[in-house]
Structure 1
Amino acid sequence: MYNNKDRRPKIRLVGMGTGGSSGFSFASIEKLLQESPSKDTWFDAKLVCSKPCHGMNLISTELEDYLYNPCTGYRYVRSTREALVYIPNRIPSDRFRHDHAFTTGNKNVGLGFDPLMQEHPPLPVNDMPPAYLAGFLYWMSEPRLSQSKTSAILSFEIATKTFVVIQCPSCALTRHNRSPCKSFVVELEGMLCVVLANPFEEELDIWKMEHGQWDRAYRVCLKGWPGYSLGANVVVPMAVDPKDGRILLNTGSKLGLYDPTKRVIENLYDLDEVLRVKQTDESLHVEDKEKS
């Protein structure tokens, strides 16, 4: 935070550390693209990395969770039985798409400042990772497991180890009940936001809570951008550029900057394309080797 003088979001991708199994490397897009043909760059298994929280990252795989500081190299490994905050009453993993980009197995863990297991929360939560903001973790509830059948936000205060239920924006609740929209929470510009993903309209409605009130902050129109289609992807807003208002979007395999004024996406990184190039290069290498 202190070294980011221009206060603009800095994008890093997580790759293999030195020796493959000894840790992780956090590299710029340009650097990772240059090193993409190297087999030492890629993981063999899926992982999910949280947004940084006071310099720390939570990296989750199906077998382990890593608390990692890329600046100091500090790493702490936890097994899946030692989740930082454990949330029971989850929907079984077979009820979700197996290619969900932001879940690993049936785990849901969040990164804060108190890593101890806490009490059972009053609401079951959905399959999206929580958002962290100013000493609190926030999850979106799962209406299909709740008696009320409506979405709400579950808030966990780390200092007091207490849970509170926060009401969602009324418009978001109405639209969620009438269509199979997916809702989840994120932190943007230091504020708690609710994202309502509508696959029929191919739109993200983003609501922000400011001074205790919900207001619509952004509408992201994704029609005409098949790589970011909400019918096939979970598209998560990660950050907002304070200088030009462009929104960083993440699908788990693509990164893009959305311009709310022009309604266009500048594609920054496409893992599928990188892997296709990598496979083509390997095929050509094998073919040349066979010829020789």
Structure 2
Amino acid sequence: MPLHPEIAKFLAGLPTPPEGPLDPVAMRAGDETHVAPLEERLPLHAVEDVTARTASGEVPVRIYTPVEADSYGVLVYFHGGAFFLGSLNTHDHVARSLAKETGLKVVSVGYRLAPEAAFPAGLDDCYAVVRWVAEQGGSLAWDGTTLALAGDSSGGTFVAAVAARAHDDGFDRITHQVLYYPSLDLDFDVDRYASLRENAVGYGLETAGLKPFNAFYLDSGADPADPLVSPIRRADLTGLPPALVVTGEYDPMRDEGELYGRRLREAGVEATVSRYEGAGHGFVQHFSWIPEYHRVFEETRDFLGRR
């Protein structure tokens, strides 16, 4: 199907990006101006900002409790933003929708960003918070069953990397991984995947923008050949948690996500690949108000309900 008309209308109204190098500080400030006022956000039983004291240091987290209950399954959420953008605030609406639809307590991670924090600082924070959740389960009213990971774009990179790192460390408490249009191969050779050429221009995120947007992370020491940076490079995917990989029809990174799902299945991992027609990169963050795309939270709920 063609690009969804609401997305096409939005893209047509965007101003021409400024020329010159990217300014992380200015871009972050600009993103924060689009955050909805608190009174307009989806209401939940409780939303609390907490400092997680972890092996990686003190990491800010935001905890979303959907309803009052004695105990909960937990979903740890890593926001996207090419490793240098995004915050607890810019992705607050995604975390709220995940909590409401899944019924799980959501722990959103305010990990350190490049370029100020060199690789693997952000990844270390994400992994440490997952371990913290398991260790502090009583204070979170974790029921000891579901401990899921979810992330969008570069947050999906961290989901795959954290799941692999936990497996290698013998930490077996992670029950599910949910990757929304993940960035899994930071090589960015345009000939590696057909979608990099098919969806190169006109759909929001453009192939030519991948290198400059990820340069802050790569220049901080993240090697694209490292499977913790490019999870598609991991040779052995056996033993990883069941996965839901969500892709967008018009996303340049569509094919690497779908390849990862196939490779998981070939390794004996339960993996569902779900392509959303008419959607480009970022639709969970920016266009989940469209009914066809809000369904991603219901699909996530159904996937997390399977053990």
Query: Which structure carries more helix by proportion?
Result: 2
Query: Which structure carries more strand by proportion?
Result: 1
Pick the structure with greater CA Rg.
1
RCO higher in 1 or 2 (8 Å CA, sep ≥ 6)?
2
Question: Above 0.5 in TM-score?
Answer: no
